Amino acid sequence: MHVHVEKDKCIRSGNCTVAAPDVFDQYEDSGVVFLRTDHPAPEQEGDVRDAVSMCPVLAITVTEK
């Protein structure tokens, strides 16, 4: 799995950081999301998929690798 975030779409809701805190985080100054890893471990994939579905602006995409 490969994760990509479109930072310019991010509205700083933080849903992704709640769903998958080991994969997503937010910059303190702006609140914009950033990836802790773009290739999560297999055991994190469910949480990442939850984060994708919870993003209100569809800023997160996943491709299978």
| Angle, alpha carbons 24-31-45 (nearest 5°) | 15
Candidates 28, 14, 22, 26; CA nearest to 48 is: 22
pLDDT over threshold 80, residue 63: yes
Three-class DSSP category at 63: strand
pLDDT at position 58, please? 97
pLDDT at position 8, please? 97
Delimit the domains of the chain by residue range: 2-63
pLDDT over threshold 80, residue 9: yes
pLDDT over threshold 80, residue 65: no
Candidates 44, 27, 2; CA nearest to 12 is: 27
Fold of 2-63: Alpha-Beta Plaits (3.30.70)
Distance linking the first and last C-alpha atoms of the chain: 5
* Tens-place pLDDT, residues 11-59: 999 999 999 999 999 999 999 999 999 999 999 999 999 999 999 999 9
